[in-house]
Structure 1
């Protein structure tokens, strides 16, 4: 964790009366600088309150997202923009994502059709590159609903 992220984490923990030992991860949304900035802004605007990731893309020993987890959201320059807390996490097949899930992701026209196309453009390349397998709509997705708890 770089120094500015560590300082932001400590400021958050002190401001919210949490132990300095509290686990807080940091990440940026998306896989490009443009997406990190765009999606980070949607979080700050309250339009993005959900995100999804491929269950199989986590290493066996890697901590998967969980309810109550705190994360520092970073922009494209790895500058902290806020802290979010997961308020609900569910593991569901890709083809069981609902209109509500899609709307909470806050992207595009907020429709399930948009969500599906955006994620069918995203997941297959990572499943092939990192796992050497074809992505299927039966693959499990970790869907996280979150709220901003610190800016």
Structure 2
């Protein structure tokens, strides 16, 4: 028996038009191309940077509360290769290779205990900043 899937009409959850969705999708595609071409990052490396951002945001919320303005609080995150592998589902050896690349690019530093530290927020690698720019337009 062959299953035939046909496209279904569905309302847009945000109420945006096709043109708006196309604009957002085009910008997101361009963002990922930029990460690969200009920043030397692949999707796995981007997932790792996103995990660092999530950890940093969670730490900020614990320390300063959720109502604090994002730019007003110090930003850093420390994670191990094992924790990153667990968070992202990426095999640990792949995580280690991507961490090496991120370290060489200057985004993270290796700590004495073998963990990695992201000091500061890299807005050019933050998809939330990219989406925020689209919403503001």
What TM-score results when the alignment is normalised by the length of structure 1? Answer: 0.30
Structure with bigger RCO (C-alpha 8 Å, 6+ apart)? 1
Name which one, 1 or 2, has greater alpha-carbon Rg.
2
What TM-score results when the alignment is normalised by the length of structure 2? Answer: 0.33
Name the structure with the higher strand share.
Answer: 1
